[in-house]
A = this chain, B = another copy of it.
Amino acid sequence: MDLAYTEAEEEFRRRLREWLAGVLPGLPPKPSPDDWPARRAYDTTWQRMLYDAGYAGLHWPVDAGGQGATPTQHLIFLEETERAGAPYVGANFVGLLHAGPTIAAEGTAGQRARWLPPVLRGDEIWCQGFSEPDAGSDLAALRTRAVRDGDDYVVTGQKIWTSHAEVADWCELLVRTDPDAPKHRGISWLAMPMDAPGITVRPLRTLAGSTEFAEVFLDEVRVPVRNRVGDENDGWRVTMVTLSFERGTAFVGEVVACRRTLDALADEARRNGRWDDPVLRRRLGRLNAGFRALWRLTQANVSESEHTGVVPGVGGSVFKLRYSGLRQELYEAAAEVLGGGDAFDLDREWVLDRLSSLSYTIAAGTSQIQRNIVAERILGLPKGR
C-alpha cells in the first residue's frame, strides 16, 4: 500500500494542471441550463480543446483513438479538472462513456471509423435510448420493437430519461428484435440517427423544474441494419460490455465536488453563526468522515482495477449505495446550514442541488436494486424477491 503518486503520475498531473491554468480563463461564460444548443456548443468546444491537447478519450484504448491512460491517470484527470472548475463531460457523456466504448469493443472496423473519431473530436454527440416507461429497474423488459424491412429496421416504441435528446446526433438504442425469445435474448443494439423521420422528442420536466431529460417517441423510424452493433438479439450482452470500460472512476469528480461543498458549508456556517450549533457541527463532522472514506474507497477501486484489470463493477454497487445516500445527507445538512430563511430560495447555492440529489437513490439502479446486486452477486445470497 502506497498512497503516494509515482513520479510519472505527478508529472501527468503537473502537465494537466499547467494546461488547465492556461486554457480555463479563456473559456466562454457558461450557458444557461435551459439553452440546449448553447450547452451542446459549450461542451463540444471543451471536448475539442481536450482533443487538441491530447486528453480526449483518455481512458479509451489506443487502437480506438484513445490515450490508453492508466486508471490512476484517469482518476488524476477527473480530480484535477473538477478541482480546477473545468467543464463537465456534459453532452459528451454518452458518447465518451457508453456508446463509444461499446462501439470500440463490439463494433466492426467500419463502425469504429465512422463513429469514434467524431466523439473524440466533439463533432458528434450521442444520447441513450435504454429505459422505457414500463422498463426501468427491469430494463430487460423493454418493448420498443424493431422489425426488419429490407436493409432497415423499422422501430416503434417509446424511450424515457434520455438526456441531451434535443441536441444529439445519434442515439444508442436498445430494441426488441425477437419478441418470442426470453427477455434478455431478443434485444439488439442500434445506432439511430436523431434526424430520422418519425422521432419526436418531448422534454420531461423534473421536480427541480429543469428539463434534463426527455421522452423520445419512435414511430416507424427506419434505422439501417448496418447501424446494428453486434449480432441481432445479442444486444444485452453488447450493452453489458460497456461496463468493462468503467475502472472505478465513475464518481471521482462528484466526490471531489462533494468534499468542496462540505468545506463551503462549514465556511458558511461559521459565517452565519450556525456553526455554534453542536448538533449541526457534529453532523458536518460525520459527513467529513463519510466523504473521506469514499475518496479512499475510490482510490482503492481504481487501484484494484489497475492491478487486476478486473472491473470493480459489482463493488461499484457498494460505492453507489453509500455515495447516493451520503450525497442526500450532504444537501440535507446544507438546508440546515442555510436555515429556514434561505433553504427555500432557489437562487441560493445548494437549494437546487438538494432537489437534484433526490434522484441519486433512483437513477442508474435504485438503492433497492443496488442492495440486491450486492447481496446476490458479491455476498452470494440466493435469488428471490
* Residues on A facing B (Cβ under 8 Å): 277-279, 282, 384-385
A254–B379 CA distance with the chains assembled, in angstroms: 39
A385–B277 CA distance with the chains assembled, in angstroms: 44
Chain B residues within 8 Å of A279, by CB: 278-279, 282
Chain B residues within 8 Å of A384, by CB: 385
**Pairs of residues from A and B, 4 with the lowest C-beta to C-beta distance, nearest first:** A385-B385, A278-B278, A279-B279, A384-B385
A385–B278 CA distance with the chains assembled, in angstroms: 42
What distance in Å separates the Cβ of A383 from its nearest Cβ neighbour in chain B?
11
Chain B residues within 8 Å of A282, by CB: 279
Chain B residues within 8 Å of A277, by CB: 278
What distance in Å separates the Cβ of A269 from its nearest Cβ neighbour in chain B?
15
A384–B385 CA distance with the chains assembled, in angstroms: 8
A-B contact pairs, 7 of them (CB 8 A): A277-B278, A278-B278, A278-B279, A279-B279, A279-B282, A384-B385, A385-B385
A277–B281 CA distance with the chains assembled, in angstroms: 13
Chain B residues within 8 Å of A385, by CB: 384-385
The CB with the most chain B CB atoms within 10 A, among A277, A279, A282, is that of A279
A282–B277 CA distance with the chains assembled, in angstroms: 12
Closest B residue to A281 by beta carbon equals: B279
Chain B residues within 8 Å of A278, by CB: 277-279
Closest B residue to A282 by beta carbon equals: B279
A277–B277 CA distance with the chains assembled, in angstroms: 11
A143–B385 CA distance with the chains assembled, in angstroms: 27
A385–B383 CA distance with the chains assembled, in angstroms: 11
Closest B residue to A279 by beta carbon equals: B279
A278–B277 CA distance with the chains assembled, in angstroms: 8
Closest B residue to A278 by beta carbon equals: B278
What distance in Å separates the Cβ of A59 from its nearest Cβ neighbour in chain B?
40
What distance in Å separates the Cβ of A35 from its nearest Cβ neighbour in chain B?
44
A282–B385 CA distance with the chains assembled, in angstroms: 39
A282–B278 CA distance with the chains assembled, in angstroms: 11
What distance in Å separates the Cβ of A349 from its nearest Cβ neighbour in chain B?
27
What distance in Å separates the Cβ of A261 from its nearest Cβ neighbour in chain B?
23
Closest B residue to A384 by beta carbon equals: B385
What distance in Å separates the Cβ of A104 from its nearest Cβ neighbour in chain B?
41
A282–B279 CA distance with the chains assembled, in angstroms: 9
Closest B residue to A283 by beta carbon equals: B279
A277–B282 CA distance with the chains assembled, in angstroms: 12
A241–B351 CA distance with the chains assembled, in angstroms: 54
A279–B384 CA distance with the chains assembled, in angstroms: 41
A279–B282 CA distance with the chains assembled, in angstroms: 9
What distance in Å separates the Cβ of A32 from its nearest Cβ neighbour in chain B?
42
A384–B384 CA distance with the chains assembled, in angstroms: 10
What distance in Å separates the Cβ of A333 from its nearest Cβ neighbour in chain B?
15
A384–B277 CA distance with the chains assembled, in angstroms: 46
What distance in Å separates the Cβ of A93 from its nearest Cβ neighbour in chain B?
36
What distance in Å separates the Cβ of A363 from its nearest Cβ neighbour in chain B?
25
What distance in Å separates the Cβ of A368 from its nearest Cβ neighbour in chain B?
13
What distance in Å separates the Cβ of A195 from its nearest Cβ neighbour in chain B?
45
Closest B residue to A385 by beta carbon equals: B385
